[in-house]
A and B are shown apart, each in its own frame.
Chain A
């Protein structure tokens, strides 16, 4: 009890997703749906820059919870298109707000009345998304759900992301496509976090 953990990102934490049943439309107005891609926390376990999916989920959900809003997780299985995943999540969300996320980390906040190809906030540069950014994304999604006006999460840019990450991103994208199960609808899932957590 005397040595405080030093960092927020705990490499020790793991997550597994337990399927509960077909995803249904939520009735609570104070919920945000987190819509996960086919390979998230399944075929893949971390983002393109090695942020564990466990940490991504914990931070997204913490950002939502801190705002007093409930997070509900679904996995979309029949597409790996971020806009489609996010829009499916938004349509199922009681508040109409969703956060969609791909295995490599690319994330989007969506709303049910928007056109599928539109979005509220998009974070396209997956190599620049860390735990703190995921927390802010969760927080913003929850604020939208409450009808507040959050300031958009600042997006970053890095000219040298191209040489380092462009090809790996393409590869991860192709792999995620491989995990698509074309005939299966979205399922509701529960996150079961592994060792290292007390909550």
Chain B
């Protein structure tokens, strides 16, 4: 391996290479004898393999070749390739549902059919429509209509019964027929429909059916005392039915049946413990205690040495899998396997979330928003195999390659090329699996941390909270602003402004909530309105990135004091997000911090910080001055 010097005497061509979790970036520069730097080109490719492993070589080489091509240089001219000291970071995600709503004895129908019929409250005894004729006059009846009944026939049967003196006060239908039936009744009554399991409604029981006017919600059945009045309950019984009232709050229609021991329960599901070891302590916390309790425990066990979850739970499985993956990655042929016990979970982020789930015992496919906890965990090792990557890069390129510096330090170094930034500066690298922070003090001392939870967790929260079941759509919701397509020629943006088009929009987006991708509007398949989609998106970002920004910065700030920071520079893929940088800046503003998205080299935006930091560090290194490259 030889080094050549084809440039002006004393100048050196170097390439900084940053191997990240998802992208590999390169920065090509020429360094003058005086340490001056001229940047010639940058490049970005996908990282090959898990960061910090020999598989990275291919991606690194292609990043380098790309930068060389852009800078118009050849591999033979390169003096030295500088790689970051990157340790593999692997992150994992899991979600545990921790509550469950159960209806017993078919006490309640609390779903929200889009089109109930009639209006008001009807209280009577439940009777099947086929038996209405046998009913004695004068006793109020709630008519139950099984599947298969045509709306015309059902209305005719009820009208006939009413005509013969039966007092029908309300109806419960299997099909989506409430408006149709109500429109055909001689005497309209409240009707609740789309009750799929209508055959399970107990007959011969006292029941109340309430339907509110369009745009209103029910008043009586969602009020414990309303229920007490309707069913003549004593205080003890009233206490018992209060979960029913709570469950019905906000509905436009509802049915409550009084059965001997019917009940609605809101049960917590035990999902096992999380065991956190750190700061000389071992703390145990129940996952179903929620995010706040878990994060309290994590804070008390800082710095975290390791964490375990209960086997057989999602969290336990996820933590074990993260560990196993890391062990596999670290294994190299011909060497003893890395013991799994060597690999430790170094951070955990818990976030409260909710999951729409079908209610057990429900008659109409009722969906309750159950509480859940999402966890992100992160593992890193001290074992780096970057030297091997450097050797392979050197071999592949025919130029010298070396480890040029530690990632966090280099990121800060690169961030300093952002116009308007000075020491002390902290960087926040908002990635896919982890959020990283590093601080460079006025004195030049650097500290860095990685915390679990970043873009992937945001996607997962959006996906589950909106019940999308499609990660691609969730990614779209995360990345792009929303709009509602109001006609073929205009959309309303999420900020309320209207945009008109000359050419009609494509039919598949008509009347839909859409995300505005660069390729055009793409529909979000959800029944949620634009506002709730937006709320879910922003909350997911806040709970992950804002929380993690504060958490990570506290860990690097002197004495954990955020006020001691002056400049915070946001880097990484999620720093390109259209709202996350503003959300973080807003959260940091009260601490007197200048925060913004980085603009590395004044041109690269939040990209290329580590790669250009490596070049800067090399140019500034005293060992190099006047001495030329060393081997």
Contact = CB atoms under 8 A, between A and B. Distances in A.
Interface of A: 1-8, 10, 58, 62, 65-68, 111, 113-115, 118-120, 135, 139, 144, 147-151, 197-199
A147 B511 contact: yes
B133 A2 contact: yes
A65 B148 contact: no
Contact of A120 (B153, B159, B487, B510): B510
B157 A1 contact: yes
23 contacts: A1-B132, A1-B160, A5-B153, A6-B148, A7-B148, A7-B150, A8-B150, A10-B150, A58-B152, A62-B151, A62-B180, A66-B177, A113-B487, A113-B488, A114-B507, A120-B507, A135-B176, A147-B486, A151-B525, A197-B152, A198-B153, A198-B159, A199-B155
A65 B511 contact: no
Interface residues of B, number: 39
Interface of B: 114-115, 129-130, 132-133, 146, 148-153, 155-157, 159-161, 175-180, 183-184, 486-489, 504, 507, 510-513, 525, 527
A147 B510 CA distance: 9
Given A4-B149, A8-B175, A198-B152, 4 more contacts: A7-B148, A147-B511, A149-B512, A198-B155
Leading 5 A-B pairs by shortest Cβ distance: A198-B156, A113-B488, A199-B152, A199-B184, A66-B179
Contacts of A67: 114-115, 179
Contacts of B115: 66-68
Given A114-B504, A120-B510, A139 B176 contact: yes
B503 to A, nearest CB: 10
A4 B184 contact: no
B353 to A, nearest CB: 24
B482 to A, nearest CB: 13
Contacts of B178: 66
B246 to A, nearest CB: 28
A29 to B, nearest CB: 13
Contact of A8 (B133, B148, B160, B527): B148
Contacts of B527: 149, 151
Contact of B157 (A4, A10, A114): A4
Nearest to B512: A149
B187 to A, nearest CB: 15
Given A66-B179, A66-B180, A67-B115, A144 B150 contact: no
Contact of A144 (B148, B149, B504, B511): B511
Nearest to A55: B150
A144 B152 contact: no
Nearest to A139: B176
A3 B510 CA distance: 45
B241 to A, nearest CB: 32
Task: Name the residue in B129, B152, B155, B179 with the highest tally of chain A Cβ atoms < 10 Å from its Cβ.
Answer: B152
Contact of A118 (B146, B152, B156, B507): B507
Contacts of A144: 510-511
